[in-house]
Structure 1
Amino acid sequence: MSTSVVLKNSARLFNILDAQHEDWIIARAMEIVERRMFRGGQTLQNSAATMDFLRTRLAQEPNEVFSALFMDNQNRVIAYEELFKGTVNSTSVYPRVVLSRALAHNAAAIIFAHNHPSGLTEPSNADKFITSRLKGVLDAVDVRMLDHVIVGQGRPFSFAEMGLL
């Protein structure tokens, strides 16, 4: 079977799928990407790769989602977890839960990320406060906070790049 036949059949298949089925396919594809990416402790090569990964995970969420990339001492990804889900304009973040998950993964470093469904990536005062609080909690147990990324429309906001860590 030639590639063009496969592509035409795939195009026909996607034409008949509704949004729910497309969402299911995208979710399964993301699981495969994550499994391959994190197998053997893959590294996210640079901040652009990290931002792309986080944007892919969070940009389409209708409500705020706060997540973490748990990493080992060589900054290889151990796991990605969505830790908290909120409403269209806020989510509650509990440092105790974050610390518990970091210790469960034996993480040496963490990158936090959350989305702003409004599309604006500028951090709120609450974003700045929780970032500072999480950094303090993690510093106490020698877990490095590498960044906190806010995903919205356009380029994600990086606390690390802006010198806010």
Structure 2
Amino acid sequence: MRIQEWPSAERPREKLLARGATTLSDAELLALILGSGVRGHDAVGTARRLLNEHGPLHALLEQPPARLLRMRGIGKARACALKAALELAARSQMAELERGSAVTDPPSAGRYLAQKLRGRPHEVFAALFLNSRHGVIGYEELFQGTVDGAEVHPREVVRQALQHNAAAVIVGHNHPSGNAEPSPADRAVTQRLKQALALIDVRLLDHFVIGDGKPVSMAMRGWI
């Protein structure tokens, strides 16, 4: 049965218009981006298959375009639409942070860093530089490493903080393995960063570790 033959209240487009996007499942939202299915499957069925084979949702969306193009049901137009949707979400999150108020909510910064760093094939260490009101004044990817580590130099973080005239910093890095549990090395570099930044009167507000699930906040763990 084609989606057009479904009861009106169950069609993804009508459901979104009547009840809002939050009422749709991952497959239904993905189906709206795909627009149509493949032979023998409607858009929702195609979306469900893609999620079953390549999901969860964030794992599918964060695939590089070349890999998306190899998936049945995703051509150039759909691959571009998926990557554009992900980038729009990241830019929307950044716009929210730039307004300042969102930075007082740690999960907002964690979500933004996750959108930037999750799915990278190697470790990337990044920083959000904040003004005295905790509004974002800059985002920098400072260090890149291997699949299991990145060397972090506190003096470079200090240099960038001075260059941005920052009053506070939030840092984050990804674990390509998907396990977001901070390592002893992660905790040690956090303390080194906190001490180095304190010498120039800049506060380290948080250090997020990005994996497959929710970002882990070291501040929430009481480690900052």
User: Do they fold alike, i.e. is TM over 0.5?
Assistant: yes
- Where in structure 2 are the equivalents of 1:41-80 lying within 5 Å? 43-80=102-139
Higher gyration radius (CA): 2
Aligned to 1:113: 172
Q: Which has the higher helix share?
A: 2
User: Offset of 1:24 from its aligned partner?
Assistant: 6.0
Decide whether the 8 Å contact of 1:38 with 1:79 is kept in 2.
Answer: no
Q: Secondary structure at the match of 1:44?
A: helix
Q: 1:52 to 1:34 in 2, by over 3 A?
A: closer
Name the CA distance, whole Å, in 1 between partners of 2:154 and 2:118: 24
Select the residue among 143, 150, 154 that pairs with 2:209. 150
Match of 1:132 in 2: 191
RMSD over aligned CA atoms reads 2.7
1:155 Cα offset (Å) = 1.9
- 1:8, distance to aligned residue in structure 2 (A): 7.5
Q: Which stretch shifts more, 83-92 or 39-48?
A: 39-48
What residue ranges of structure 1 are gaps of 5+ in the alignment? none
CA distance in 2, matches of 1:160, 1:9: 37
What's the counterpart of residue 100 of structure 1? Answer: 159
- Partner deviation per Cα, 1:68-106 (whole Å, 9 max, x = no partner): 010011111111111111110000111121111000000
**Which stretch of structure 1 is more off in the superposition, 138-147 or 151-160?**
151-160
- For residue 43 of structure 1, report the CA deviation from its aligned partner: 3.8
Which amino acid in 2 is paired with 1:131? T
Q: 1:7-62, CA deviations, whole angstroms, 9 ceiling, x for partnerless residues?
A: 989736x9422797568636753674366346565643512212211111111111
Moved more, 88-97 or 42-51: 42-51
Structure 2 length as normaliser, TM-score?
0.61
Give structure 2 stretches of 5+ with no counterpart. Answer: 1-12, 14-30, 37-72
- Shift of the 132–29 alpha-carbon distance from structure 1 to 2, 3 Å rule, reads same
Higher normalized contact order (CA 8 Å, seq sep 6+, divided by chain length) = 1
Between the aligned partners of 2:151 and 2:85, the Cα distance in structure 1 is 27
Instruction: Please say if residues 38 and 78 of structure 1, whose CA atoms lie closer than 8 Å, have aligned partners that are also in contact.
Output: no
Deviation at 1:127, TM superposition (A): 0.8
User: TM-score, normalized by length of structure 1?
Assistant: 0.81
Query: How many Å separate the matches in 1 of 2:129 and 2:116?
Result: 15
Task: List 4+ stretches of structure 1 deviating above 6 A.
Answer: 7-10
Q: 1:84 aligns with which of 133, 140, 143?
A: 143
What is the one-letter code of the residue matched to 1:162?
R
Tell me by how many angstroms 1:148 deviates. Answer: 0.5
CA distance in 2, matches of 1:16, 1:132: 47
Q: Does the residue aligned with 1:133 lie in a helix, a strand or coil? A: helix
Q: Structure 1 vs Structure 2: percent identity of aligned residues?
A: 38
Higher strand proportion: 1
- Cα 1:41–1:49 change in 2 (3 A) is closer
Cα 1:8–1:72 shift into 2, 3 Å: closer
User: Hey, what's the Cα distance between the residues in 2 that align with 1:25 and 1:63?
Assistant: 22
